[in-house]
Amino acid sequence: MKRERYFIMPSVALAACLGLAATANAEEPWPERLYNPAPLDDDVILPLPCNGAMAFRQVHVPASAPLDDFPVHVGQDGTGWGYVEQSRPAFISGSFSSEDGGSSRHYLLAKYELTELQYEALMADECPAPSNRKRLPQVGLSWFDAMQLSDAYNLWLREQAPETLPMEDGAQGFMRLPTEVEWEFAARGGLEVSSAEYRDTRYPMPEGINGHEWFAGAQSSNGQLQLAGLLAPNPLGLHDMLGNAAEMMFEPFRLNKLDRQHGQAGGFVVRGGSYLTPREDLRSALRGEEPYYASNNTTSSAGHNRGRATGLRLALVAPTLTSRERIAAIEENWAALGLGENELDGSPGTVVQLAELASGVEDDALQEQLQTLERQLRASNQRQEEARNQAIRASLNLGAFLCTKLEDDGVFFDFLADNYRLNCEGDNPDASCAMREARLTEQEQRLQGLSRYYASSLVESATLYGSEPIAQQVEVFSEILARNPQLNGLGPYLQTYWQHQLHYLENQRITAEAWLESCKAMAEQ
């Protein structure tokens, strides 16, 4: 998706600005440095009143169907704040389908924290004069201010620039604060980082933390809020995700109760820390609670809680139940969840048999018990299927990696063999031939062992999971590899490994030598 897709032409933006604030003197469009000081080719730009703009980044999730989601972990163990931050499983999906029909969905997150200039363009009675000094994040907002602002922006876009909003199944997207899972998945780097980097305390920072985030102390913010976008972004291209201004979340705060959230919902959640947060406390899991209302009226005439270091970053998402056709598709997918069909002969699984049994029971109490058991069994089957899918992706990762090793070791063996023939098989053998022969034999044994391990892993995975579940996860894992710059080169090896698995599944023949040669041939592509 290119930057111009959601960009409104300046003349329309000017008319929209004049319609919003008749007394304003809107002139030239804002210079790009005021709303996107670090532009990227795939930024998504949406217009603002007063000839302004706001930059967004797509956050991709490897899920395609409306009911698909992706398992992630949020939080961090060992922070000393377990009841607030302890790691727990969560799930995420995107609002918008892939344009090319691929196996991913995405949502959009503002590239920068909302600035004073953008806030005034949306909420002030007159258009502000564009100024670099107003590139500071807008702080001192209440959660209700955030709701009012997002509502104003949604209404303005629908009235003045409806064509700039992304669509999903015929429904327009809309702005809101991000959920905690949306924010943390993006803050950690999403699919752009490896699993280990995702689970680390902070996303990878090649420039060091001082080059990426503002925090308390003379070596960083020195107690002052800083202009948005001055430092390097995270791997998704998002700036100031940690530090500078703390960011409000959409949902209320809940405590962590080991692996789930506690039942009491409190104030609103703030994430990421601010320019007042010590360096050692700045982490992706950092979260806190803020009350919606001040304890007294000394801090706000309206009684709303407005933190001096609290700002916001907007998310752009879509409704879920967008059409009758979409609802029908979701109903169909939901009905198939956790049925546990017998994969050996295709016969109905235990869940289906239990449902049939419950439908024939006349005792209402017994029927309710059986239906409860059916739902529990479906949920259990669903969890097992999700665990199986993760295991399949892990096996695909291993298989693709082993194919790269076969390529490297195979090419090195050919190099040693060519040198041996050149130096030792003529009339005047080299004095080092004994050493060369030993190295060649050692490399041949290593290559044969690796080839056997590759074949063994391939056969075990194919036998355990079967072609259809593996094919589904090949599509998902391909999307993960395509989004991760560090792993993108692994994609062709994944496809080669999958073709080897298909070959085995179709004819039950182990052709380790042919598989080795196929992986070695990747060096020539």
Report CA dihedral (277, 268, 232, 104) to the nearest 10 degrees.
Answer: 150
Q: Does residue 498 lie in a domain region?
A: yes
Q: Does residue 324 lie in a domain region?
A: no
My answer on whether 471 and 509 are in the same domain is yes
Going from the C-alpha of 190 to that of each of 72, 79, 200, the distances in angstroms are 10, 21, 12
Q: Which positions ≥6 away from 473 have C-beta within 8 Å?
A: 389, 392, 393, 396
- Phi and psi at 116, nearest 5°, equal -60, -40
Site of tokens 């295709």: 346
Q: Following DSSP, what letter does each residue of 358-399 receive, concatenated?
A: HHT---HHHHHHHHHHHHHHHHHHHHHHHHHHHHHHHHHHHH
How many structural domains compose the chain?
Answer: 3
Q: Rounded CA gap, 299 and 138, in Å?
A: 17
What's 314's DSSP letter? Answer: -
| The pair of three-digit structure tokens given for residue 151, joined into one six-digit string | 């509502």
My answer on whether 72 and 214 are in the same domain is yes
- C-alpha triplet 422, 522, 475: angle, nearest 5°: 165
Q: Rounded CA gap, 135 and 30, in Å?
A: 12
My answer on whether 388 and 485 are in the same domain is yes
Residues 286/187, Cβ–Cβ less than 8 Å: no
Residues 1/96, Cβ–Cβ less than 8 Å: no
My answer on whether 130 and 272 are in the same domain is yes
pLDDT tens, residue by residue, 152-194? 999 999 999 999 999 999 999 999 999 999 999 999 999 999 9
Q: Say which CATH number the domain at 126 has.
A: 3.90.1580.10
CB atoms within 10 A of CB 114: 25
Please tell me the predicted confidence (pLDDT) of residue 474. 96
Q: Does residue 513 lie in a domain region?
A: yes
My answer on whether 423 and 500 are in the same domain is yes
Pairing of strands 268-271, 287-290: antiparallel
Q: Does residue 323 lie in a domain region?
A: no
Please tell me the predicted confidence (pLDDT) of residue 353. 76
My answer on whether 469 and 419 are in the same domain is yes
Q: Does residue 53 lie in a domain region?
A: yes
Q: Does residue 207 lie in a domain region?
A: yes
My answer on whether 264 and 350 are in the same domain is no
Q: Which residues of the chain are under the pLDDT cut of 70? A: 1-27, 296-302, 340-348
Residues 95/318, Cβ–Cβ less than 8 Å: yes
My answer on whether 263 and 369 are in the same domain is no
Report CA dihedral (463, 468, 473, 475) to the nearest 10 degrees.
Answer: 130
Residues 30/51, Cβ–Cβ less than 8 Å: yes
**Where does a domain end: 363, 381, 399?**
381
My answer on whether 257 and 372 are in the same domain is no
Quote helix, strand, coil % in the chain, to nearest 5.
45, 15, 40
Q: Does residue 322 lie in a domain region?
A: no
| The pair of three-digit structure tokens given for residue 43, joined into one six-digit string | 């930024």
Question: What is the pTM assigned to this prediction?
Answer: 0.88
Please tell me the predicted confidence (pLDDT) of residue 312. 98
Q: Which positions ≥6 away from 169 have C-beta within 8 Å?
A: 97, 318, 322, 323, 325, 326
pLDDT tens, residue by residue, 506-524? 999 999 999 999 999 998 8
Pairing of strands 260-261, 246-252: unpaired
My answer on whether 244 and 358 are in the same domain is no
Q: Does residue 328 lie in a domain region?
A: no
Please tell me the predicted confidence (pLDDT) of residue 524. 83
My answer on whether 377 and 388 are in the same domain is no
| The pair of three-digit structure tokens given for residue 109, joined into one six-digit string | 């997150």
Residue ranges in 425-483 assigned as alpha helix (H): 433-465, 467-483
What is the CB-side half-sphere exposure of residue 102 using CA atoms within 13 A?
A: 18
| The pair of three-digit structure tokens given for residue 311, joined into one six-digit string | 């700002």
My answer on whether 199 and 187 are in the same domain is yes
- Phi and psi at 412, nearest 5°, equal -65, -40
Q: In terms of residue numbers, what domain contains 461?
A: 384-524
Q: Say which CATH number the domain at 490 has.
A: 1.20.1050
